[in-house]
Amino acid sequence: MQETILILDFGSQYTQLIARRVRELNVFCDIHPYNNFPKDLSGLKGVILSGSPFSVRDQNAPFPDLAGIKGKLPVLGVCYGAQYLVHSSGGEVAPSKIREYGRANLGFIDQRCRLLRGMSTGTQVWMSHADTILKAPASFKITGSTSDVEYAAFKIEGEETYGIQFHPEVYHTPEGLHLLKNFVVNICGCKQDWTPELFVESTVKELKAKLGNDKVVLGLSGGVDSSVTAMLLNRAIGKNL
């Protein structure tokens, strides 16, 4: 079974970029809406909670049911994802006095934390949030801080659940890929054996098994999604496309 990192999408503009970074580590990942993800969690090695344009204080904010995930699989909350972990556990998330947007530096890093291990003290990170974490339950241990953000990174004691209020997936966090590797490889235990070539091979095999001798009509727009779909189907069923 393919090792998979599940990304729960809360509507962030950066969600696809998180997926790209994970795949650059030769680890397969799948993006699902926060309220419509697979019930069968077999094969999942870990879960990443994306950022969001919402505030956790909004009445219609995304509130997923993580009962089958949190405490059972490694979880990394990014920005909104981190604030959701705090808010849903009884902590306090409030509007920042000044919108925290732009470059910041991690002046404190707990090197005992597996998520941040090997990162440089003072390393630059990219902030993009209007809310901030003011208070978290006692089990939420601060593992990274900037001069303005105390809860820049945290870990929940007794489980492999982590949160960061910065974005590791963007260019302006130079050691972000190192952090993501710590999560997907060192914490989740992924083997880094997935490649795009392997994806094509396995997808064509699955399509052949599923479609058999069926004929398929494809609407081809010329965009990336339908063009890739056409290529995969053509390899799988040839003239039946």
Active site residues per annotation: 79, 167, 169
CA-based nearest residue to 74, from 126, 36, 113, 101: 113
CB 31 within 8 A of CB 61: no
Q: Residue 84 has which token pair?
A: 């959701």
Q: How many residues does the chain have?
A: 241
CA-based nearest residue to 85, from 164, 21, 26, 166: 164
Q: What residue type is assigned to position 87 of the chain?
A: H
Phi, psi at 217, each rounded to 5°: -105, 125
Q: How far apart are CA 10 and CA 81, in angstroms?
A: 8
Q: How far apart are CA 24 and CA 31, in angstroms?
A: 15
